[in-house]
Chain A
């Protein structure tokens, strides 16, 4: 038996794969940004008391206040890429999900618990004492969820490990045989810490512009987390790169070339970002960092295509056009953006700094 014969037959697309992939990449990017803010800020809230002791206010109170939102938005913005991923790569994703079914379903429970833990953390005044227990628990669970996501991606991209199903059909498989799994995971986590740090700086920067005076110290702290985590992440990044199959960055192939460009591009954009942050110019730092996250998201898409190349190509997916539902979606999408924009504007104009 070989892996190719196991790959399920895909169902037909209603619009050209390009549109679906555009939506996939775009919403994945948004999800990553939200996830980075959530995980990174949570990490920093947990870690900072270790060397600052009790001196973590008001930073931790602000993180505690915003974490329930960022979890909610991370999940919300995760739904869309999960949808488009299933349309394009369902035959791989469903299979890997079945193989790790128990872990996969546990994610739901872990997320519910971590949300309520974060909520309790918010209610506890003593953020560096008892509070740490709750933020620590939430963080641990969120890190486990991330690890499970990395695993699913790993299994779905490597049909050659699917044969393990025949020795365990009860949904308890993880992909320990993938040498890229651990570095991939660490690379994501360090990225989250970096972006989380930058998000903290941006948050206090915005408050400062609206008249708050308590921000300087935390802007600095956020930027330092951003810099240190980024430097560490160069290490994880190279480790990850080294663990990839060689054809991933082989310039002789199209995917290899594109991947290489994305990697170089992300290095080229993250350096000015860190430099701006250190110079205290948070807005340009954020713009450059977002560019890096976008490039990394694209690199990840290309990498998936490389992994799946022996088994799959987007062009071969069956295609039976039906455009009208797509049109309805676009109208709802634009309408939704308008509504959300109106609501945010209304609040922004009404809200004083508290």
Chain B
């Protein structure tokens, strides 16, 4: 309404953001749990006085640094860039509400990169004690970043009392803040184990390799029970109306729930198998498979969280298409073509009826539907029902179809949009 719409067709419907977000969050969670993995493993090396383990920590740090510092940090910037072009209104709300939370997170980010660089380059230059302290500073800063960003991410799903009082703290310590924090913390420890498999499996010395693989397996298996408990708590903390929608009224989310459950089993199983002594080639393959399973596991969760937020981008406040819940009635009365700022065809004539239909589609639907792409393709959706049925679908948006916002245009605009869908899109 307020901003121009970027006509992203094939990669739309959430595909672009999903790809970047899942990669980013996976690496970013690794950046937290992996930090703990580094220091605790270094402690272990000193305790056992084992140079082999210390060398392993060093190698693992290099891999860790290259992955988290570059791909992790840049995909993080990537998420910002992406949401700000896909949904500038929501980004603006988040930024204005949480500017100082983001700012605080940034200071932790600075501490993170300084400590990580120092940690990597000073293995034999600093005293053991100072080196470990730097490692702990890294982990502390990384976990604090998680703490802060967790508040902002969960705000979008459960903004809680913020919707009424507009208070920073209500939004930040929202109803799912604590369960999500535990959930993500345990998950990041599990991911540390998964990446631990990866670097361990490359160790040449068989004895050491088996030791480190078993050690990494503990990272995965020990927090697992706690992780499952926290996901249960997470679900229980969801406000009832959101819980019902996610688990009962959105058939399109069911495959992700199944995937999540299946991967839980696979992770446990894989963790146990990795503890068995095996040749290095096999353990490398297994480690790679486990990493992919971890990614799918986490991807399934993120899809649930993002998908479960529909039809909102900020629950009970702003719909995915950036229309505010409170504005819905007044917009519907005045009409989209009259109220949206970035619309060209305010007066519809036979000559521009298709173009006006396209503009309505851009403003109201493009945020969730791709055109011809892999996710939520509108051409496929339209072809699944007859031209007449579209009227019914529009009437039930936001009600029997709770995953879509109510149609926000007026009666005339509805016909123009349906006409556009039945002609240009259906073709």
Q: Which residues of B contact A115 (CB under 8 A)?
A: 70, 74
Q: Which residues of A contact B96 (CB under 8 A)?
A: 11-14, 87, 90
Known: A6-B4, A79-B106, A84-B103. 12 other contacts (CB 8 A): A14-B96, A72-B69, A72-B73, A95-B88, A105-B81, A170-B6, A171-B7, A325-B99, A325-B101, A333-B107, A347-B118, A351-B125
| A324 proximal to B (CB < 8 A) | yes
Contact A75 to B73, CB < 8 A, known contacts A165-B4, A322-B168: yes
Whether B81 lies near A94 (C-beta < 8 A) is no
Contact A169 to B6, CB < 8 A, known contacts A105-B82, A324-B168, A336-B111: yes
In the complex, how many residues of chain A place their beta carbon closer than 8 angstroms to a beta carbon of chain B?
Answer: 69
Whether A325 lies near B168 (C-beta < 8 A) is yes
Chain B stretch 348-397: residues in CB contact (< 8 A) with chain A: 362
> Which 6 pairs, one residue from A and one from B, show the smallest C-beta to C-beta distance?
A94-B88, A336-B107, A325-B100, A329-B100, A108-B78, A11-B96
| B337 proximal to A (CB < 8 A) | no
In the complex, how many residues of chain B place their beta carbon closer than 8 angstroms to a beta carbon of chain A?
Answer: 62
Q: How far is the CA of A104 from the CA of B84 in the complex (A)?
A: 10
Q: Which residues of A contact B273 (CB under 8 A)?
A: none
Whether B95 lies near A108 (C-beta < 8 A) is no
Q: A20 — nearest CB in chain B belongs to which residue?
A: B99
Whether A346 lies near B126 (C-beta < 8 A) is yes
Whether A343 lies near B137 (C-beta < 8 A) is yes
Q: A347 — nearest CB in chain B belongs to which residue?
A: B118
How would residues 1 to 31 of chain B score, 1 for a CB under 8 Å from any chain A CB and 0 otherwise? 0111111100000000000000000000000
Whether A339 lies near B111 (C-beta < 8 A) is yes
Q: Which residues of A contact B100 (CB under 8 A)?
A: 14, 325-326, 328-329
| A5 proximal to B (CB < 8 A) | yes
Contact A320 to B166, CB < 8 A, known contacts A6-B341, A86-B84: yes
Q: Which residues of A contact B130 (CB under 8 A)?
A: 346, 350
Q: How far is the CA of A111 from the CA of B77 in the complex (A)?
A: 11
Whether A344 lies near B114 (C-beta < 8 A) is yes
Say how far A163's CB is from chain B's closest CB, in angstroms: 10
Q: B358 — nearest CB in chain A belongs to which residue?
A: A169
CB < 8 Å: which of B95, B113, B166 contacts A83? Answer: B95
CB < 8 Å: which of A12, A76, A322, A325 contacts B73? Answer: A76
Whether A328 lies near B6 (C-beta < 8 A) is no
| A307 proximal to B (CB < 8 A) | no
Q: How far is the CA of A97 from the CA of B5 in the complex (A)?
A: 11
| A245 proximal to B (CB < 8 A) | no
Say how far A94's CB is from chain B's closest CB, in angstroms: 4
Q: How far is the CA of A235 from the CA of B101 in the complex (A)?
A: 43
Contact A339 to B137, CB < 8 A, known contacts A6-B341, A115-B70, A350-B125: yes
| B85 proximal to A (CB < 8 A) | yes
Chain A stretch 143-168: residues in CB contact (< 8 A) with chain B: 162, 165-166
| A276 proximal to B (CB < 8 A) | no
Q: A346 — nearest CB in chain B belongs to which residue?
A: B130
How would residues 79 to 115 of chain B score, 1 for a CB under 8 Å from any chain A CB and 0 otherwise? 0111011001101110110111111101111110111
| B211 proximal to A (CB < 8 A) | no
Whether A340 lies near B85 (C-beta < 8 A) is no
Q: B102 — nearest CB in chain A belongs to which residue?
A: A83
| B122 proximal to A (CB < 8 A) | yes
Q: Which residues of B contact A339 (CB under 8 A)?
A: 111, 115, 137, 141
Contact A340 to B114, CB < 8 A, known contacts A171-B6, A350-B130: yes
| B75 proximal to A (CB < 8 A) | yes
How would residues 156 to 178 of chain B score, 1 for a CB under 8 Å from any chain A CB and 0 otherwise? 00000000001111000000000
Say how far B387's CB is from chain A's closest CB, in angstroms: 27
| B233 proximal to A (CB < 8 A) | no
Contact A73 to B168, CB < 8 A, known contacts A5-B341, A101-B8: no
